[in-house]
A and B are shown apart, each in its own frame.
Chain A
Amino acid sequence: MKEPYEMKRCDKTILKVEHLKKYFNTQKGTVRAVDDISFNVFKGETLAIVGESGSGKTTTANVILGRYTATEGSVFYKSIEIGSISLTMRPIWLRREIQVVFQDPATSLNPKKTVKDIIETAIKIHYPQLNKYERIEKMLELLGYVGLTEDHLFKLPGELGGGERQLVALARALATNPTLLILDEPTSSLDVSAQSRILVTLLNIQKNKDLTYILITHDLAVVKNISHRINVMYLGKIVETATTYEIFTKALHPYTQMLLSSIPTISEEESKILPKRVEPRGEVPSAINPPSGCRFSSRCPFAIDICTKREPLLEEVITDHFVACHLVNKNV
C-alpha cells in the first residue's frame, strides 16, 4: 500500500466540531448519543466516520445538518456557529452549502415523482431566478456529472436500478452547488456491482468540484477506497483519528483492530494485512448506562484495572494520529 494522501496542515478548515454533545431524553433515561467529540474537516478532503450502529455517527451528521440542535458544544462552519441553529432557522445559503445523500435511495426519493420533478424542486427553491429552459439545462448538466442521461429524466424511481436511484439522490444533492456533502452510508443498501459505480462517481465529482465529503459508513473496504482521514467512533466518543493509510497499517486502538479484523476479505493478500489480534466479541452496550472509565472496556480483551476507572483522553501518539486508550497512551 502506498500513502495516498498527505495531510496538509495549511489546508483551510471548513468545519470545526468542538466538544459536541447530543443527549436524548427518553423514559428510560438520558441517551448520550454523542458525548464530547471534537474534530476538524479540511476543505477538499473526505473524512470518514466509522463505527457500529449506535456509536453516534448519524447523530453527529444530523447535528451538522441541523436536523438536531446540539445539547452542548459547538459546530463552526466557515467560522459561523451552526450547531445551535435548527434546520428551519438556518439561512438559505447555509442550507445550500451543506447537503446530504441518505442511505436508502428507495425511501429517500418520492416514488410518485419523476427524476425531473425530484431534481427540479431543489433547483426551484435555491435558484428561483432561473426560467424553465435554464432549469432543464442545469438538470442535464447535473445528470451528466453523475453519469446519467436525459433518458432518465422522465422515469420514476421505481423504474431505476438501486445504483441509478442513488445517483439521482446524488444529483439532487448537487443541484444546490454544495461545498460540504454528507454521505450517510451511501452504498450499504446497494449491490457490489452498483457500489463501485457510486464510489467512482463520488471520486470524480470531488476532483472536479473540490467538494468536501463526510462519509458515514461501517464498510471499511469503502472507506479505504475513497476517504483521506478516518474518525473511529464508539458509543458517542471518538476513539481513534488518523489518515486512512495509518489506520489500515498501524491501527492502535483495540476497537479499530476489532473492526478491521472482522472485514470478510476476498483474497489471501487482503487477510494478511489486517490485524488478527482482536477477535470480535460482544455487542455495543446501551448508551444510557455506558461502562464506566473507557467505554470499550467491557469488550476489550486487553482491559486492565485503570480502564474501568478512568476515561482515556484522545491524545496524539504519532503526528496526526490520535488515540484514546490507556494501553497506548501510557507508552508515550
Chain B
Amino acid sequence: MQVSDLVFDANRLLTVKNLYVKYKSYWYIYHVLNDISINVGLGEKIGIIGESGAGKTTLLKSILQVLPINGKITSGEIFYRDVNLLKCSKQILLEIRRKRVGMIFQDPLAALNPVFTIKDHLLEVLRYANETANIDKSDLINIALDLLRDTLIPDPERILNSYPFQLSGGMRQRIVIAMALASARELLLADEPTTNLDVTIQAQILKLIGELVEKRGLSMILISHALGLIRKMTERVYVMYGGNIIEEAPTFKLFNEPLHPYTQLLFKTAPKILEPLSSVELRGNPLDYRNLPNGCVFHPRCPYGDSEVCRKVKPHQVKVEKDRTVYCHIYGS
C-alpha cells in the first residue's frame, strides 16, 4: 500500500483533530494534551509558542507516534493527507516517517549516538529514505555529501568520518538538520532547533533552515519559546498553554495585537530592547497536569479570570476574524 500523493485539499497536509494524550507514572496520570486541533497546509510554516511544559514537544512526538513508553494517545485523529495515522498499518506509518516527514530534535548531542560516525548516522537515514529506489552505497554517500553541503558544512568529506563529540554545537545541529532533511520530503518538524546555541550561531542556523525549507518547498512546524524566532520564521502561530491551544493567528497579527490574556502576558513579560522591563508578571504556579483546573485552564493565573464562567466552563473556539481564533470567554459574549 502507498500513501496517495493526491491532496484532496491543499490546506490540509496534516490535520490533528481533538487529540488527547496522557502520560502514566506509577501513581498518577498526567493529562498532557487536551483537545488539540491544528492543521498544516502544503508549504505552510507553522509556529507553536508556549512555556516549557505546555505540551509542545508531546504534540510533535504524537504526530510521528514516537511518544515515550508511558505516553498514550487516548482519543482523537491525526490525518496525514488522507491517511489516519492512528489507524493505518505499521507499513504506512513507517513510510511516512522514513520518506515524508523529518524531525529535528531538541538537543543535538542527545540526538546523535557518540559511538557512530556522522557517516553511519546519515547513511542509515538515507538507506530507509531511498528504500525502493535501489541505490547502492557509493551513491548514498554522494547524497550524504550533498546534504552536508546544503547545510553549509565546511569540508564535508572530513566531517563524514568524524564522531559527534568532535564537532562543535553548531556543527552538530547542522548534522541533525541534514538527517531530518534526508527523510523530510514534505514536512519538517523542528523542536526548538536552536535552544542550546549562541545567538550568532542561532541566527545562522535559522537562516539555513529558512532557506532549505523554501528551496525544497517543505511545510514546517517550528516549536520554540523564543518569541523573536517565531516571528522571523513562521506565517501562522498556535499558542499553547497547559496542553490546550488557546490562540491561533497569522504571525504578524499575533505580534501586533495578542488577544488571549496569556499571550498578552507572555509578550509583556519578554525582555525587550526598546522598552524598560515591565513589572507585570505571570502570577501563580505552572500547571499541575495530574488534576487540571475546571473551566479555562488558565483561569488560576489569569488577571481577568475570577468570573464564575471562567472557573466552570471550558471556553469554546471564538472566531475573532476570518483567520484568527481564540479560546477565551472575554471574546465570547
Residues in A lying within 8 Å of B, measured CB to CB: 1, 52-53, 161-162, 187, 191-197, 199-200, 203, 218-222, 224-226, 248, 258-259, 261-267, 269-270, 273-274, 280-281, 283
Across-interface contacts of B274 in A (CB, < 8 A): 1, 267, 269-270, 273
Chain B 128-148 interface 0/1 with A at a Cβ cutoff of 8 Å (1 = within):
000000000000000000000
Q: Roughly how many angstroms separate A225 CA and B265 CA in the complex, as a whole number?
A: 18
Across-interface contacts of B6 in A (CB, < 8 A): none
Contact A193 B265 (CB under 8 A): yes
Q: Roughly how many angstroms separate A224 CA and B275 CA in the complex, as a whole number?
A: 9
Chain B 249-277 interface 0/1 with A at a Cβ cutoff of 8 Å (1 = within):
00000010000000001110111111011
B72 in the interface, Cβ–Cβ < 8 Å? no
Chain B 272-311 interface 0/1 with A at a Cβ cutoff of 8 Å (1 = within):
1110111111100110000000000000000000000000
Across-interface contacts of B123 in A (CB, < 8 A): none
| Contacts A192-B225, A192-B266, A259-B199 given; does A225 touch B52 at CB 8 Å | no
Across-interface contacts of A264 in B (CB, < 8 A): 202-203, 206, 226-229, 231-232
Chain B 161-205 interface 0/1 with A at a Cβ cutoff of 8 Å (1 = within):
000000011110000000000000000000000000011111110
| Contacts A161-B285, A200-B281, A283-B168 given; does A265 touch B231 at CB 8 Å | yes
With both chains docked as a complex, state the minimum distance between the C-beta of B91 and any C-beta of chain A, in angstroms: 40
28 interchain pairs, CB-CB under 8 A: A52-B200, A161-B285, A161-B286, A162-B52, A191-B51, A191-B52, A192-B266, A193-B51, A193-B265, A195-B270, A195-B271, A197-B281, A197-B282, A199-B277, A200-B277, A200-B279, A218-B198, A219-B271, A221-B271, A225-B276, A259-B200, A261-B203, A262-B200, A263-B273, A266-B231, A267-B255, A274-B273, A280-B201
Across-interface contacts of A53 in B (CB, < 8 A): 169, 198
Chain B 197-218 interface 0/1 with A at a Cβ cutoff of 8 Å (1 = within):
0111111101000000000000
Contact A273 B285 (CB under 8 A): no
Residues in B lying within 8 Å of A, measured CB to CB: 51-52, 168-171, 198-204, 206, 225-229, 231-232, 255, 265-267, 269-274, 276-282, 285-286
Contact A196 B199 (CB under 8 A): no
Q: Roughly how many angstroms separate A226 CA and B51 CA in the complex, as a whole number?
A: 23
How many A-B residue pairs have C-beta atoms within 8 angstroms? Tell me.
120
With both chains docked as a complex, state the minimum distance between the C-beta of A156 and any C-beta of chain B, in angstroms: 15
Closest residue to B171 on the A side, CB-wise?
Answer: A283
Contact A262 B273 (CB under 8 A): no
Closest residue to A191 on the B side, CB-wise?
Answer: B51
| Contacts A1-B274, A218-B198 given; does A195 touch B269 at CB 8 Å | yes
- For the complex of A and B, list the 5 residue pairs with the smallest distance between their C-beta atoms, beginning with the closest: A264-B228, A262-B203, A196-B269, A280-B200, A52-B198
Q: Roughly how many angstroms separate A270 CA and B204 CA in the complex, as a whole number?
A: 19
Contact A221 B272 (CB under 8 A): yes
Q: Roughly how many angstroms separate A273 CA and B275 CA in the complex, as a whole number?
A: 13
With both chains docked as a complex, state the minimum distance between the C-beta of B195 and any C-beta of chain A, in angstroms: 10
With both chains docked as a complex, state the minimum distance between the C-beta of B97 and any C-beta of chain A, in angstroms: 30
| Contacts A193-B269, A224-B271, A265-B228 given; does A280 touch B255 at CB 8 Å | no
Across-interface contacts of B206 in A (CB, < 8 A): 264
Q: Roughly how many angstroms separate A284 CA and B270 CA in the complex, as a whole number?
A: 28
Closest residue to A248 on the B side, CB-wise?
Answer: B273
Q: Roughly how many angstroms separate A218 CA and B194 CA in the complex, as a whole number?
A: 14
Q: Roughly how many angstroms separate A219 CA and B204 CA in the complex, as a whole number?
A: 16
